Amino acid sequence: MSSFQILKRLVKFIRPYRWIFWSSAFLAIAMAPLNAILPYLTNIMVDEHIMKPDLHGLKVMAIWYLIVLFVLTAMRYGFTILTNTMGQQIIFDLRNKVYSHILSLRLSYFDKTPIGTNTTRVINDLETVNSVFSEGLITIAADILSLLTVLFLMFWTSVKLTLICLVTFPVLLLASYVFKEKVKASFQRVRTQVARMNAFLQEHISGIKTVQIFAAEQRVASKFKDINKEYTQANLDGIFYYAVFFPVVEIISAASLGFMVWWGAQGVLEGLVTIGQLVAFPMYLARLFQPVRTLADKFNTLQMGLVAGGRVFEILDNAETAKDSGQIRSGKLKGDIVFQNVSFSYNGETEVLKDVSFKLEEGKTLAIVGSTGSGKTSIISLINRLYEIDKGSIQIAGHDLKEYNIEFLRNRIAVVLQDVFLFQGTVMENMTLKNNRITLEEVIEASRIIGAHEYIMKLPGDYHYVLAERGSNLSVGQRQLISFVRALLCNPDVLILDEATSSLDTETESVLQHAIEKLIEKRSSIVIAHRLSTIQHADHIMALENGRIVEFGKPSELLAKEDGLYKSLYETYFQTAEETPGY
C-alpha cells in the first residue's frame, strides 16, 4: 500500500467528524493572514504614526494590534482542541474496529503473531496514527499557508529585502531534507524496537513462574537489557538529529537576519528602505522560519503515522477470519458426527492428521487415546472450526460443518480445553462468561450437578470470589471444576473434553470423574481421556498414532486384540496402579 493509499483510507474515517474537520480547516485558513498581518501592522505603526508623530493614530493601531493578537490566540486554542479531538475520536473508532477484527481472526493468525505485536498495533501504532490527524494533515496545510502569506506580504513590502532574506533558504531546505531522512530512519528503528520490547515483556511476564522456577531471572534480564539498549540507542540517534538540526536552523535564521539588517540599514540610509520595514522584517523572518523549522518534523510525523496506519490496515485487511457462510442457525445439533478422510496441518506443510475417518452416533461417547503429539487435541479443534481442514469433510447431523453458522455451531458445542483459561473476575463471571441471562440459581444448580458447589462455598465470598488473571489464585482441580460448570451451563448438544494430563489426588480424581460423567450424560461426547475410568465407560475408543487412527472399536473389542495399543495402555495402567499406592 502506498502512503497515498493509506492516507486516502485514513481520510475516510474523518467522515463522522466532518464538521470538526471543516471548522479546523476554516481556522487554519483564517489564522494564516492574521498571523502574517502583525508585522505589517507594526510596519505601519512605525512609518505612519511614530516617524510622523500621530499619537491618536498610534493608539488606534495599537488597539487593532491587540485585537488581532487576541483573536489569533483564541483561534489557535480552538484549532488545537479541534484537531486533537478529531484525532482522538477517529482513533477511538479505529481502535474498536481493530480489536473486533483481531477477535474474529482465526487461531492460525495468533499461532504466528506474538501477543506483544498485537498490543503494539492496538496501542502504540494507533497512537502514532493519531498524529496524522492532530499534527499532520491540517497543521501542515496551515503551516504552508502561513508561510505563503508571510512570503507574499514580505515581497509586497520590499522585494529586495525579501530576496536578501531568502539567500540562505537553499541551505535551510537542504538541512531540512537531510534531517527529515535521518529522523525517519531512526523513527522506524524506534518503532521496531518498541514492538520487540512489548513482545518480549509480554511473554516473559506471562511466563514469570517458569522464569523464577528455573532461576532464569538474570538471563532474562540480560536479554532484556540488550533489547532495551537497542531501543535507547534508536531513541538517542533520533535525539542527536534534533539536537543538531535546531541549532543549525538557528544559525541559518540568524544569518538571514544579519544579511537583512546589514543591507536594510544601508537601504534606510540611502532612503530605499523605511524604518518601519526594517522593524517589521525581523518579525516576518521569525514567522517564516518557525514553520520551516517544524515542517520537516511534521512531515516525518505524518509519514510515521502513515507507516503505522499501514500496519493497522494490514491487520484490518487480514482475511484470516472464519468464512461464515453457514445458514443453519437454529434448532439442535443432534445427529451423528462423521469424519471422512480428513487431513489437516497447522502450517500447510506437515500433516498432523492423516486420512482420519470415523463415525460417532448421536448420544454416544468416544474416547480418544494416543501418545503425546499424536493429534488428539487437533481433531477436536476441527469440530468447532477453530482451524479449517485441508482435505476431506466433517459432518454433524447430515450437514457439512460449513453449512452451520459459526456462532450457532460454537454455542451448541461445548469444549473444555486441556489447559483451562480463566479470566480476571468473579467465579460466577467465569462460569457464565459474562452472559447476563444466566442467573445465580442456574449457576448454583449446575455447580451442584458437577459437584463443584461445596468447593466453591469454601472460597471467601463463594461465587463472588475474585479470581486473579488466569485464575492463578485457584488450585488446578478447582479451575477444572469451574471450566466443567462453564461447559454444563451452555447445555450443549455436543460435548468435547480434553482431559488435563496432570494427575490429581484420589479424592479430586473421583470428584472430577463424577463431574465428567454428568457432563457427557445424554449427549454426544468426545473425550480425550487419560484416566482409564473415563475410557472404560466410553462407547467407542479411538487410538491415534502420528495423526492416523490405528484402532477404533468398543472397549471390550479392543481389549480382545493381541498387541493392541489400547490393550497395552490398559495393562500399563493397572501395573502402575498396583505399584503406586493411593492411585
CB atoms within 10 A of CB 349: 6
Instruction: Indicate whether 109 belongs to the interface with ligand UTP (CB under 6 A).
Output: no
Residue 218 interacting partner from Mg ion, ligand UTP, none (CB closer than 5 to 8 Å by kind): none
Instruction: Indicate whether 361 belongs to the interface with ligand UTP (CB under 6 A).
Output: no
Q: What is the closest distance, in whole angstroms, from the C-beta atom of residue 413 to Mg ion in the complex?
A: 17
Instruction: Indicate whether 80 belongs to the interface with Mg ion (CB under 5 A).
Output: no
Q: What is the closest distance, in whole angstroms, from the C-beta atom of residue 378 to Mg ion in the complex?
A: 8
CA distances from 206 to 113, 192, 417, 468 (A): 16, 21, 19, 13
Rule CB under 6 A: which of 335-354 touch ligand UTP?
A: 346, 352
Instruction: Indicate whether 373 belongs to the interface with ligand UTP (CB under 6 A).
Output: yes
Rule CB under 5 A: which of 371-400 touch Mg ion?
A: 377
Name the residue with the smallest CB distance to Mg ion: 377
Instruction: Indicate whether 346 belongs to the interface with Mg ion (CB under 5 A).
Output: no
Residue range at the interface with ligand UTP (CB under 6 A); choices 39-47, 215-223, 258-266, 366-374:
366-374
Q: What is the closest distance, in whole angstroms, from the C-beta atom of residue 528 to ligand UTP in the complex?
A: 7
Instruction: Indicate whether 372 belongs to the interface with ligand UTP (CB under 6 A).
Output: yes
Q: What is the closest distance, in whole angstroms, from the C-beta atom of residue 530 to ligand UTP in the complex?
A: 8
Residue 242 interacting partner from ligand UTP, Mg ion, none (CB closer than 5 to 8 Å by kind): none
Rule CB under 6 A: which of 174-233 touch ligand UTP?
A: none
**SS3 (DSSP) at 318:** coil
Stated as kind and residue range, the H or E segment containing 352 is strand 351-360
CA angle 65, 67, 73 (to 5 degrees): 105
E strand spans, 433-487: 466-467
Name the residue with the smallest CB distance to ligand UTP: 377
Residue range at the interface with ligand UTP (CB under 6 A); choices 78-86, 208-216, 255-263, 373-381:
373-381
Radius of gyration for the chain, computed over Cα atoms and rounded to the nearest angstrom:
36
What is the spatial distance between Cα 60 and Cα 408, in angstroms, rounded to a whole number?
77
What is the spatial distance between Cα 336 and Cα 338, in angstroms, rounded to a whole number?
6
33, three cell numbers: 493572514
14, three cell numbers: 474523518
> Residue 188: CB partners within 8 Å, gap ≥ 6?
304, 307
Instruction: Indicate whether 375 belongs to the interface with ligand UTP (CB under 6 A).
Output: yes
Q: Please give the DSSP secondary-structure letter assigned to residue 61.
A: H
What is the spatial distance between Cα 49 and Cα 492, in angstroms, rounded to a whole number?
90
Q: What is the closest distance, in whole angstroms, from the C-beta atom of residue 378 to ligand UTP in the complex?
A: 3
CA angle 485, 487, 493 (to 5 degrees): 135
Determine which residue in the list 93, 111, 454, 469 makes contact with ligand UTP, applying CB under 6 A.
Answer: 111
Of residues 262, 4, 287, the one with CA closest to residue 148:
287
Residues that bind Mg ion (CB under 5 A): 377
Residues that bind ligand UTP (CB under 6 A): 111, 346, 352, 370, 372-378, 418
